[in-house]
Amino acid sequence: MLGEGGRLALPSVDRAVVVLVDGLGVEALRARSGHARRLAAALGPKDAIAAGFPTTTASAITTLTTGRLPGAHGIVGYSVADPDRDAVVNQLTGWDERQDPATWQRERTLFERASADGLDAVVIGPERYRDSGFSRAALRGARYLAGSSVDDRVDAAIAWLRSGARGIAYLYIPELDVAAHAKGWESGEWTAALEGVDGALGRLATACGPRDGMLVTADHGVLDVPAHAHVLVDEHPGLLDGVRHVAGEPRCLQLRFEPDADPDAVVARWKDAESDRAWIATRDEVVESGWFGAVDPVVARRMGDLFVAARKAVAYYDGRTAGASRRMVGQHGSASPTELRVPLLRFGGFER
């Protein structure tokens, strides 16, 4: 996403609506352009950006709402091995009293900055996310408006535009990602969800007045991974020797080593076994690569000792703990173009 050096020149408006369509990658939008005529018509050759790494919702949304990369804001993956708890913690749904959203996410949000400048700041999303730990980390500083369906949320955004307030609204649409995980982005269910999103956002674009701007983007694209392409790492002799925790997500594992492990031996085993279909990189290599931006030492402790980021259409699971997650079809998290490239579409006062 745009952050830490990224710049986006936009005309001045009184009200900005930023729409995040979870899981809407550029490749999928182009492939299904006939089912998303309003969005596809706005997608030109220069209207794609990189979602950032890892291509996972918790990290990418926090980058969007803070303007900083994960090495600064601290949400470094779908799940992380919290060094202070010696446990894997889900960054979307695993928050509890031992993990304070106000300090774990380390940067001011754009909503906090807008409010400090006397502007209105609202988030529009499903009711179930109103008071979640992740919302309190990534969306703090905003008023929360709930809507059960895409159309309900678009109606709320239109009402906000017509209220005359000056400020920013963030509209979250998770329906495509839900369909992709359940059935895959190539399914009829995903296409039907895309049609609904396109129609609703078309209404929102039409409602924009001359002083209203609207941006549509996404947190990641989606790659369909069939069950036969699941790699069960617990069934490969030696791969988990010296590994204490398996965090991250199936397309981008973050492995935490046992205190007495031989790091070089663990890295060598993974490279021997998986380097033909995954990028294998140590924490130091990831930090040096700049994938996470400048990495604060506190944040570095949350990152895996070893990253296993899929290059081919595979997903890595620990079969002992995977459970229902192995039923997912649509996957993301790694650095393939399908996962990385997301649209940045301009409407209303932001149109060029």
Q: Please give the chain's pLDDT, 352 residues, in tens.
A: 444 445 678 999 999 999 999 999 999 999 999 999 999 999 999 999 999 999 999 999 999 999 999 999 999 999 999 999 999 999 999 999 889 999 999 999 999 999 999 999 999 999 999 999 999 999 999 999 999 999 999 999 999 999 999 999 999 999 999 999 999 999 999 999 999 999 999 999 999 999 999 999 999 999 999 999 999 999 999 999 999 999 999 999 999 999 999 999 999 999 999 999 999 999 999 999 999 999 999 999 999 999 999 999 999 999 888 888 899 999 999 999 999 999 999 999 999 7
DSSP 8-state symbol, 127: G
Contact 208, 54 (CB under 8 A): no
Pairwise CA distance, residues 101 & 134, whole Å? 7
Q: State the burial class of residue 276 (Cβ atoms within 10 Å of its Cβ: 0-12, 13-18, 19+).
A: exposed
Closest by alpha carbon to 18, among 135, 136, 168? 168
Do strands 79-82 and 87-90 pair parallel, antiparallel, or not at all (unpaired)?
antiparallel
With respect to residue 328, please indicate whether it lies within any of the assigned structural domains.
no
**Which residues does residue 243 pair with via DSSP β-bridges, in sequence order?**
257
Judge if 183 and 91 occupy the same domain: yes
Q: What Cα–Cα distance (Å) separates residue 183 from each residue in 10, 177, 186, 331?
A: 37, 10, 8, 11
- Return the pLDDT at 3: 40
Pairwise CA distance, residues 181 & 329, whole Å? 5
Judge if 161 and 81 occupy the same domain: yes
Judge if 341 and 294 occupy the same domain: no
- Return the pLDDT at 5: 46
CATH number of the domain to which 138 belongs: 3.40.720.10
Collapsing DSSP to helix, strand or coil, 19 comes out as strand
Closest by alpha carbon to 319, among 254, 236, 224, 223? 236
- Return the pLDDT at 9: 84
Judge if 219 and 233 occupy the same domain: no
Judge if 58 and 197 occupy the same domain: yes
Judge if 145 and 262 occupy the same domain: no
Q: Domain of residue 175: give its range.
A: 15-224+335-348
CATH number of the domain to which 270 belongs: 3.30.1360.180
Judge if 291 and 339 occupy the same domain: no
The total number of residues shown for the chain amounts to 352
- Return the pLDDT at 7: 61
Q: What Cα–Cα distance (Å) separates residue 27 from each residue in 97, 145, 192, 229?
A: 40, 31, 17, 21
Judge if 169 and 88 occupy the same domain: yes
3-state secondary structure 208-232: CCCCEEEEEECCCCCEECCHHHEEE
Judge if 92 and 217 occupy the same domain: yes
With respect to residue 95, please indicate whether it lies within any of the assigned structural domains.
yes
Judge if 100 and 167 occupy the same domain: yes
Helices 150-162, 188-207: crossing angle, 10 deg rounding: 10
> Which helix H or strand E contains 15, and what residues bound it?
strand 15-21
With respect to residue 297, please indicate whether it lies within any of the assigned structural domains.
yes
Collapsing DSSP to helix, strand or coil, 246 comes out as strand
Judge if 141 and 254 occupy the same domain: no
Q: What Cα–Cα distance (Å) separates residue 320 from each residue in 56, 91, 243, 328?
A: 23, 21, 14, 16
pTM of the model: 0.95
Q: What Cα–Cα distance (Å) separates residue 248 from each residue in 130, 243, 327?
A: 24, 14, 17
Contact 123, 142 (CB under 8 A): yes
Collapsing DSSP to helix, strand or coil, 317 comes out as strand
Judge if 160 and 95 occupy the same domain: yes
| End-to-end C-alpha distance for the chain, whole angstroms | 20
- Please report the sign of the dihedral spanned by the C-alpha atoms of residue 306, residue 307, residue 308, residue 311: negative
Phi, psi angles (nearest 5°) of residue 16:
-120, 130
Pairwise CA distance, residues 71 & 50, whole Å? 16
Do strands 167-173 and 120-125 pair parallel, antiparallel, or not at all (unpaired)?
parallel
Contact 48, 243 (CB under 8 A): no
Print burial letters for 219-250: b (CB count within 10 Å at least 16), e (below 16). Answer: bbbbbbbeeeebbebeeeeebbebbbbbbbbb
Beta carbons within 8 Å of 85's beta carbon, 6+ residues apart: 98
Structural domains counted in the chain: 2
- Return the pLDDT at 8: 75
Closest by alpha carbon to 339, among 26, 104, 29? 26
